[in-house]
Amino acid sequence: MSNWSLDVLLGSLHEDIQTRLATARKSFGHPGTKGDATENIWLELLQKYLPQRYQASKAHVVDSLGSFSQQIDVVVFDRQYSPFIFNYEGQTVIPAESVYAVFEAKQEINAELIKYAQEKVASVRKLHRTSLPIPHAGGTYPPKQLVTIIGGILALEIAWSPPLGDSLIKALNGQTSDNHLDLGCVAAHGAFCFNNTTSSYEISDHAKHATTFLFELISRLQNSATVPMIDIKAYASWLTR
């Protein structure tokens, strides 16, 4: 009889994330160092467990019109079809067409930080994205319709009691489509996601919060399919300016 347990494996994945976040919280006194450690923990989770077509990085996002997003803690982007990713002096810049999801990562979240995360997400969603027709053996597919970039927030703790109650939902609700947060994880307490069918947030408060978030993100990435075919000439036009 096998001693393997899927329940234990999924629980251990969450416990690892929560333990590392808690260790960073109590071990590092400098806020910047603590913040960097928090971002790295979430980035490593996604880099390790997302399918290889995706990559996760701290980055700015740029569009072909020359507009830039704010700096984003966690950007999930396409690596298979992205023609260029800029890396210079430790800074990563990603074309808007390549982005699937963006997240703000904090040690603890409150109403102010949720608003901050919403503004960060909006700074990416407002960017211009090109989409070209897609050639294939039998002809050409029309340009891929742009899908909404997934947005969310990640943390260890939350300021409210109960943690994932009415105060959280109130802070999340009432936003424009650009500012809307789709999902998030508070590793010590639970995860949340927006149900597009019921137009309401669903709370998951069982013991495997980080794993719940990871699986929900993968499911949404599957529904997003592939990023649009980027108009590289729109970016190339900057070479002659």
Residues recognised as catalytic: 73, 104, 106
Report the interhelical angle of 31-49 vs 6-27 (nearest 10°): 160
Whether 122 contacts 178, CB under 8 Å: yes
H/E element, 102: strand 99-105
DSSP state of 240: G
| Sheet of strand 190-195: strand arrangement | 86-88, 91-95, 54-62, 72-78, 99-105, 150-155, 183-186, 190-195, 200-204
Whether 183 contacts 150, CB under 8 Å: yes
Nearest to 40 by CA among 55, 20, 10: 20
CA distance 213 to 235: 34
CA distance 204 to 192: 6
